[in-house]
Chain A
């Protein structure tokens, strides 16, 4: 079955960067876009951007432009999201999600908690 398995929780200091991985299985990695969505504790869902694993093309939410980089390693069917210049407001659970088509996010990874604290 289709699975997205994310890397473990991270604790970072303000100003640092974090790189979250999303290992996929059960389907051809290069066919479907991978999107990243974050959720602060007790808050709603916030779309960060998407990446085409076939050619590496990306589209980022303007809010994260200049701070986020989405990449992939097709040889191991894994997508990555790196967020730099971290601040306390970036503390959240970060999810990857496969885009079946037209931004239908299904399934999702289990989430990665990133805590930014001095």
Chain B
């Protein structure tokens, strides 16, 4: 199985800060990577597909980049409603696997 390693596991930032999360795959996955947001007690929400493409309706302050084994997810200006846990997901090989998550908290 492909292992997905996210870092950091948690972070604290202020409104307006730039937030960056990294996701590393245990092998080359090209750009077969998606990102999700999960708020407490809620189901995950699909944000970004193919590493860098924003799903329709997702605010433009969210972005993703990378290919191969190293990926980055960025919130350009953190808003209070962005407090959540973020997960990367690879679909290069089955089983689909997720990173361990990054919990974003407000400072």
Which A residues have a C-beta under 8 Å from some C-beta of B? 35, 44-47, 59, 61-63, 95, 97, 100, 102-111
A-B contact pairs, 28 of them (CB 8 A): A44-B87, A44-B99, A44-B100, A45-B36, A45-B44, A45-B87, A45-B98, A46-B98, A61-B95, A63-B95, A97-B43, A97-B44, A102-B32, A102-B49, A102-B91, A103-B34, A103-B89, A103-B91, A104-B46, A104-B49, A104-B55, A105-B34, A106-B46, A106-B55, A107-B43, A108-B43, A109-B43, A110-B43
Interface residues of A: mostly helix, strand, loop or mixed? Answer: mixed
Query: Does B96 sit at the interface, judged by CB under 8 A?
Result: yes
Cβ-closest chain B residue relative to A106: B46
- Across the interface, which residues of B come within 8 angstroms of A97, CB to CB? 43-44
Cβ-closest chain B residue relative to A46: B98
In the complex, the 8 A-B pairs of residues with the closest C-beta atoms, listed nearest first: A103-B91, A106-B46, A108-B43, A47-B96, A61-B95, A45-B98, A44-B100, A104-B49
Question: When the two chains form their complex, are residues B95 and A62 in contact, meaning their CB atoms are under 8 A apart?
Answer: yes
Q: A35–B100 Cα gap in the complex (Å)?
A: 19
Question: When the two chains form their complex, are residues A104 and B95 in contact, meaning their CB atoms are under 8 A apart?
Answer: no
Q: A107–B37 Cα gap in the complex (Å)?
A: 12
User: B68 CB to closest chain A CB, in angstroms?
Assistant: 18
Query: Does B69 sit at the interface, judged by CB under 8 A?
Result: no
- Across the interface, which residues of B come within 8 angstroms of A62, CB to CB? 95
Question: When the two chains form their complex, are residues B97 and A47 in contact, meaning their CB atoms are under 8 A apart?
Answer: yes
User: B62 CB to closest chain A CB, in angstroms?
Assistant: 15
- Contacts of B34-85 to chain A: CB distance below 8 A: 34, 36, 43-46, 49-50, 55
Question: When the two chains form their complex, are residues B43 and A111 in contact, meaning their CB atoms are under 8 A apart?
Answer: yes
Q: Quick one: which of A44, A104, A107 contacts B34, CB cutoff 8 A?
A: A104
Q: A107–B45 Cα gap in the complex (Å)?
A: 7
- Across the interface, which residues of B come within 8 angstroms of A44, CB to CB? 87, 98-101
